[in-house]
Protein backbone atom coordinates (compact mmCIF):
# COMPACT_ATOMS: atom_id res chain seq x y z
CA UNK A 1 0.00 0.00 0.00
CA UNK A 2 1.23 3.52 -0.84
CA UNK A 3 1.24 6.30 1.75
CA UNK A 4 1.75 10.04 1.82
CA UNK A 5 2.33 12.62 4.52
CA UNK A 6 -0.89 14.17 5.78
CA UNK A 7 -1.68 17.69 4.62
CA UNK A 8 -2.61 18.45 8.24
CA UNK A 9 0.95 17.87 9.51
CA UNK A 10 3.06 20.66 10.93
CA UNK A 11 6.79 20.15 11.28
CA UNK A 12 8.26 21.78 14.39
CA UNK A 13 11.92 22.13 15.28
CA UNK A 14 12.89 22.91 18.84
CA UNK A 15 16.40 23.79 19.97
CA UNK A 16 16.87 23.42 23.71
CA UNK A 17 20.46 24.72 23.63
CA UNK A 18 22.07 21.29 23.50
CA UNK A 19 20.25 19.66 20.61
CA UNK A 20 17.58 20.31 18.03
CA UNK A 21 14.56 18.05 18.28
CA UNK A 22 12.12 17.58 15.44
CA UNK A 23 8.41 16.97 15.94
CA UNK A 24 5.39 16.47 13.72
CA UNK A 25 1.98 17.66 14.89
CA UNK A 26 -1.13 16.53 13.05
CA UNK A 27 -3.86 19.16 13.48
CA UNK A 28 -6.64 16.77 12.50
CA UNK A 29 -5.84 14.04 15.04
CA UNK A 30 -4.16 16.48 17.47
CA UNK A 31 -1.26 14.06 17.91
CA UNK A 32 2.40 14.97 18.31
CA UNK A 33 5.28 12.65 17.54
CA UNK A 34 9.05 13.11 17.77
CA UNK A 35 10.88 12.23 14.54
CA UNK A 36 14.49 12.05 13.43
CA UNK A 37 13.75 13.57 10.04
CA UNK A 38 10.72 14.95 8.24
CA UNK A 39 10.47 15.23 4.47
CA UNK A 40 8.84 13.40 1.60
CA UNK A 41 11.54 10.73 1.64
CA UNK A 42 10.47 9.87 5.19
CA UNK A 43 7.80 7.54 3.82
CA UNK A 44 10.25 5.59 1.69
CA UNK A 45 12.56 5.06 4.65
CA UNK A 46 9.86 3.99 7.11
CA UNK A 47 10.27 0.69 8.84
CA UNK A 48 7.16 -1.52 8.41
CA UNK A 49 6.63 -1.51 12.19
CA UNK A 50 6.12 2.29 12.12
CA UNK A 51 3.58 2.45 9.31
CA UNK A 52 0.64 1.23 11.41
CA UNK A 53 1.24 3.58 14.40
CA UNK A 54 1.90 6.64 12.19
CA UNK A 55 -1.16 5.85 10.10
CA UNK A 56 -3.29 5.42 13.21
CA UNK A 57 -2.44 8.93 14.45
CA UNK A 58 -2.80 10.50 11.00
CA UNK A 59 0.83 11.47 10.33
CA UNK A 60 0.74 9.34 7.20
CA UNK A 61 -2.35 8.49 5.16
CA UNK A 62 -3.07 6.26 2.22
CA UNK A 63 -1.90 7.86 -1.01
CA UNK A 64 -5.42 8.03 -2.48
CA UNK A 65 -7.00 9.44 0.70
CA UNK A 66 -9.14 12.56 0.18
CA UNK A 67 -8.26 14.42 3.37
CA UNK A 68 -10.62 17.33 2.67
CA UNK A 69 -13.56 14.94 2.43
CA UNK A 70 -12.36 13.31 5.66
CA UNK A 71 -12.26 16.74 7.36
CA UNK A 72 -15.76 17.62 6.13
CA UNK A 73 -17.08 14.33 7.52
CA UNK A 74 -15.50 15.02 10.92
CA UNK A 75 -16.92 18.56 10.99
CA UNK A 76 -20.41 17.27 10.19
CA UNK A 77 -20.16 14.61 12.91
CA UNK A 78 -18.93 17.14 15.48
CA UNK A 79 -21.68 19.55 14.55
CA UNK A 80 -24.33 17.04 15.61
CA UNK A 81 -22.26 15.47 18.36
CA UNK A 82 -22.66 18.41 20.69
CA UNK A 83 -24.10 16.90 23.80
CA UNK A 84 -25.20 19.82 25.97
CA UNK A 85 -27.52 22.61 25.01
CA UNK A 86 -26.84 25.64 27.16
CA UNK A 87 -29.67 28.15 27.10
CA UNK A 88 -30.30 31.36 29.02
CA UNK A 89 -33.81 32.74 29.13
CA UNK A 90 -34.51 36.32 30.18
CA UNK A 91 -38.22 36.43 31.00
CA UNK A 92 -37.98 40.12 31.89
CA UNK A 93 -35.51 42.94 32.22
CA UNK A 94 -37.69 44.44 34.95
CA UNK A 95 -36.32 44.52 38.47
CA UNK A 96 -37.74 45.66 41.77
CA UNK A 97 -34.34 46.26 43.38
CA UNK A 98 -32.83 49.11 41.33
CA UNK A 99 -29.29 48.39 42.49
CA UNK A 100 -26.91 51.34 42.17
CA UNK A 101 -24.50 49.39 39.91
CA UNK A 102 -27.16 48.02 37.53
CA UNK A 103 -26.96 48.90 33.82
CA UNK A 104 -30.60 48.03 33.05
CA UNK A 105 -32.82 50.86 31.91
CA UNK A 106 -36.20 51.48 33.47
CA UNK A 107 -38.00 50.43 30.27
CA UNK A 108 -39.39 47.20 31.66
CA UNK A 109 -40.41 44.52 29.21
CA UNK A 110 -41.64 40.98 29.71
CA UNK A 111 -41.55 37.85 27.55
CA UNK A 112 -44.75 37.58 25.56
CA UNK A 113 -46.73 34.48 24.65
CA UNK A 114 -45.52 34.40 21.02
CA UNK A 115 -41.89 34.32 22.19
CA UNK A 116 -42.68 31.46 24.57
CA UNK A 117 -44.45 29.52 21.78
CA UNK A 118 -41.49 30.08 19.40
CA UNK A 119 -39.09 28.90 22.09
CA UNK A 120 -41.08 25.70 22.68
CA UNK A 121 -41.29 24.99 18.93
CA UNK A 122 -37.55 25.48 18.56
CA UNK A 123 -36.82 23.20 21.51
CA UNK A 124 -39.18 20.49 20.24
CA UNK A 125 -37.45 20.59 16.86
CA UNK A 126 -33.84 20.66 18.14
CA UNK A 127 -33.65 18.85 21.49
CA UNK A 128 -33.18 15.52 19.69
CA UNK A 129 -29.60 16.58 18.86
CA UNK A 130 -28.62 16.81 22.54
CA UNK A 131 -28.25 14.54 25.56
CA UNK A 132 -28.32 17.29 28.17
CA UNK A 133 -29.84 20.73 28.59
CA UNK A 134 -28.64 23.42 30.95
CA UNK A 135 -31.31 26.08 31.33
CA UNK A 136 -30.43 29.34 33.09
CA UNK A 137 -32.81 32.10 34.07
CA UNK A 138 -31.53 35.66 34.09
CA UNK A 139 -32.80 39.14 33.63
CA UNK A 140 -33.55 42.00 35.61
CA UNK A 141 -35.22 39.97 38.34
CA UNK A 142 -36.50 36.74 36.78
CA UNK A 143 -38.64 35.90 39.79
CA UNK A 144 -40.95 38.77 38.88
CA UNK A 145 -42.12 36.24 36.27
CA UNK A 146 -42.30 33.26 38.62
CA UNK A 147 -45.50 31.89 37.04
CA UNK A 148 -44.06 32.15 33.52
CA UNK A 149 -40.85 30.41 34.65
CA UNK A 150 -42.82 27.55 36.21
CA UNK A 151 -44.98 27.28 33.08
CA UNK A 152 -41.95 27.14 30.76
CA UNK A 153 -40.12 24.72 33.06
CA UNK A 154 -43.11 22.36 33.01
CA UNK A 155 -43.20 22.38 29.18
CA UNK A 156 -39.40 22.07 28.84
CA UNK A 157 -39.44 19.13 31.27
CA UNK A 158 -42.06 17.37 29.09
CA UNK A 159 -40.00 18.05 25.93
CA UNK A 160 -36.83 16.76 27.61
CA UNK A 161 -38.65 13.61 28.63
CA UNK A 162 -40.01 13.19 25.08
CA UNK A 163 -36.53 13.55 23.56
CA UNK A 164 -34.72 11.67 26.38
CA UNK A 165 -32.64 14.70 27.37
CA UNK A 166 -31.42 15.30 30.93
CA UNK A 167 -32.10 18.81 32.19
CA UNK A 168 -30.75 21.06 34.90
CA UNK A 169 -31.91 24.59 35.61
CA UNK A 170 -30.46 27.52 37.55
CA UNK A 171 -31.51 31.07 38.27
CA UNK A 172 -29.62 34.30 38.91
CA UNK A 173 -31.56 36.33 41.45
CA UNK A 174 -31.14 38.51 44.50
CA UNK A 175 -34.60 37.62 45.76
CA UNK A 176 -34.84 35.60 48.96
Domain-located, residue 176 = no
Burial class (CB in 10 A: 0-12, 13-18, 19+), 24: buried
Q: Are residues 150 and 97 in the same domain?
A: yes
- What's the domain range around 141? 82-171
Do 57 and 97 lie in one domain? The reply is: no
Domain-located, residue 139 = yes
Percent of the chain at pLDDT above 90? 56
pLDDT of residue 83: 83
Residue 77: inside a domain: no
- Identify whether the C-beta of residue 127 lies closer than 8 Å to the C-beta of residue 163: yes
Shared-domain flag, residues 103 and 165: yes
Residues 136 and 97 reside in one and the same domain: yes
Domain count, the chain: 2
- For the whole model, what pTM was predicted? 0.54
Q: Which among 72, 100, 129 is the end of a domain?
A: 72
Amino acid sequence: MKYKLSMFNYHLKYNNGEATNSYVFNSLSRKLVKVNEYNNSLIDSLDESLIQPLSKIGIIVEADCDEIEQLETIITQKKYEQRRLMMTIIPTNACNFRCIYCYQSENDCFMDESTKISLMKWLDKNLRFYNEMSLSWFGGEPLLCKDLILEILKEVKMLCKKHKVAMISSITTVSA
